Amino acid sequence: MTLKKIIIAIDGPAGAGKSTIAKKVAASLGYAYIDTGAMYRAVTLSCLTAGLSLTESAATQMAQGIKISFRYEDGRNQVYLNDHEVTDAIRSLEVSRNVSQVSAYGGVRTAMVAQQRKMGKNGGIVMDGRDIGTVVLPDAELKIFLIASVDERAERRYKENIEKGIPADLETLKKEIAERDYKDSHREVSPLKPAEDAITFDTTGVSIEGVVEFIQEKAKKIIDKG
Ligand code: DC
């Protein structure tokens, strides 16, 4: 008997633990993992590298013309932009500061959502982002909406940055996270919000393993039902 391959959508604000958790859930089920935030970051990076002003028409043209792909290499998920590896470059401060603006453009979203639907259509996938359960893959069998307090999310980012040798200031991170939340949830196109049938999980004070186990159990129940 072949097991049913489901779609798992994991949405939520920045720093709620989505990517770490989604990666682990995907690995445990043998599923592919797609980080849609990385795709908006890749569009932003290519606009900045090309020296474009970040208008909707320039960013949309860029989004329509570039190829973004994910490859699992050397034990980690690598992001490629037109066959150049940009895994670390898309995490730069400059990209982080401009990605909310670029990802709010309707034209950019249309181009990215089309690519994301193609990647997800056969199931066997864990996709994380802001609008996966609401817009990209509304038929996903399992939708999880992860949240956590601003303080905890800022502390997680702070630790991540320090570990990577990126200079960080906790108060600045808190301010940036709160601002990004506001922009992401108040934009006109696909604002950040849970799908009606999503399970909201507050990860404040919960270990990564605890969240991963919760999602695995939910997924297994759906897979076992066939
Ligand atoms: O998850 P992240 O911080 O890498 O996401 C980067 C930006 O992209 C963030 O401002 C929200 C936006 N984003 C989005 O609008 N829709 C998605 N599906 C994923 C990310």
Higher-pLDDT residue of 214, 187: 214
Condensed to tens digits (0 to 9), the pLDDT of residues 28-70 reads 999 999 999 999 999 999 999 999 999 999 999 999 999 999 9
CA dist 216 to 26, 28, 44, Å?
Answer: 9, 8, 33
Give the per-residue pLDDT at 1: 64
Closest atom of ligand 1 relative to the 116 alpha carbon: 18
CA distance 205 to 149: 9
Q: Residue 155: which pLDDT band, with cuts at 50, 70 and 90?
A: very high
Which residue's CA lies nearest to atom 3 of ligand 1?
14
How far apart (Å, rounded) are the C-alpha atoms in residues 196 and 138?
A: 10
153 lines ligand 1 (CB under 6 A): no
Q: How far is the CA of 2 from the centre of ligand 1 (A)?
A: 34
Q: Note the pLDDT of residue 132.
A: 97
pLDDT of the residue at 200: 97
pLDDT at 167 over 90: no
Give the pLDDT confidence of 61-93 residue by residue, as tens digits. Answer: 999 999 999 998 888 889 999 999 999 999 998
Provide the pLDDT confidence category of residue 180 given band limits of 50, 70 and 90.
confident
**CA gap 86, 79 in Å, rounded:** 6
Q: 124 C-alpha vs ligand 1 centroid, how far in Å?
A: 22
Distance 183 CA to ligand 1 centre (A): 11
* Residue whose CA lies nearest to ligand 1 atom number 16: 130
Q: To test ligand 1's pocket by mutation, which of 130, 136, 176, 185 has the most ligand atoms within 8 angstroms of CB?
A: 130
CB 81 within 8 Å of CB 68: yes
- Distances in whole angstroms, Cα of residue 6 to Cα of each of 127, 143, 167, 221: 11, 11, 40, 11
Contacts of 64 (CB under 8 A, 6+ apart): 107, 111
Question: What pLDDT does 27 receive?
Answer: 94
pLDDT in the model for residue 191:
86
- Ligand 1, residues 20, 40, 45, 134: which to mutate, most atoms within 8 A of Cβ? 40
